[in-house]
Amino acid sequence: MSGWESRKVFIAEPNDGLDDTFQILKDLGCRVVTGPPVSCAGQGYSEDELVELCRDADAFFGMSREVITRRILEASPKLRVICKYGTGVNNIDVAAATDCGILVANAPVHNLTVAEYAIASMLSLLKKIPYNANHLRSGGWRDSTTTGQELYQKTVGILGFGRIGKQIAKRLSGWEVKLITYDPVVTREEASLFGARMVSWDELFSESDIVTVHLPLNDATAGIIGKKEFDRMKETALFVNDARGALVDQEALTDALVHHKIAGAAIDVFPQEGLPSDYPLLSMDQVILTPHTAGYTVESLRRIAGQATENCMAALRGQIPEFVVNREAIPKWKERFGAR
């Protein structure tokens, strides 16, 4: 036996139609257990079910549906690695994983996908594309309500200048826009390499014609964008959020749109997945709402799934995966599994 035959890999939330991306694990002899695919939003597992399913698992794959708690991790003595499909890990108790010597590896390989979507959102708002399409379907034609704006010479404020923020700046370099950014861990020199000017938090909101959000969600950033920020924005400004819904005070966002403190918004992320029928922004013509799909393309989903499998295989071989979120767990992980 090669050793692979003793491994259990639990893929709780597989990507639809991408079973071939983890076929190599089956070919090596791993026992691969799969749950409902990501398209089955309401068919996830309870904490009790995950405790039982992960108890003898060597590796866990998931996206955002399953919440991985300390209780689950402490009940999983064989678990080496949690492989996240995508970037954000706020549904995983990373601190608990670190305490247990379990690696959390993500797959941040869809940065350009989200960057393209953010730019598409800006253009859709400026050109009123969804509104105009619905206006035409309702029997209307070109009138005073259908007139859009140009992106040319607008000031685009990129809130968070990590991988996605840099990709946005790179792709807007030929659009003759003014790029500004705020990121406490990025230098002015680094921002300038991408044609962006570093500004303060308050300046970004007050100067921008479009604010696009690309911050990570953590204890320090939850609810960080609220009434003060929307009050600082121009009445003509647009707000785009393709990062995490919980970064934004939802009441403050609704108030800003209802009272025309800002001109419009494109929102792809929400505090909870799925929207109630009475969600106030659903009825607003100046708002574009989409179902957390900014990072979803045929190409990006395959890249993400492939990277997650590579992360898993490295960990099962006793090697450090390429993308480890909790690198402070590595010493204990090596001690537990005799890894190199």
Beta-carbon contacts of residue 295 (< 8 Å; ≥ 6 apart)? 86, 87, 110, 113, 114, 117, 304
How many Å apart are CA 202 and CA 115, to the nearest integer?
Answer: 23
The angle at the Cα of 211, spanning 238 to 144, to the nearest 5 degrees, equals 15
List, by residue number, the catalytic residues: 244, 273, 292
Residue with tokens 């230098």: 187
Q: Distances in Å between the alpha carbon of 322 and those of 104, 248, 326, 339?
A: 11, 31, 12, 15
Token pair belonging to 301: 């989903």
Strands 210-213 and 81-84: unpaired
The answer to whether 313 and 25 are in contact (CB under 8 A) is yes
The length of the chain is 340
Q: What are φ and ψ of residue 231, in 5° steps?
A: -65, -30
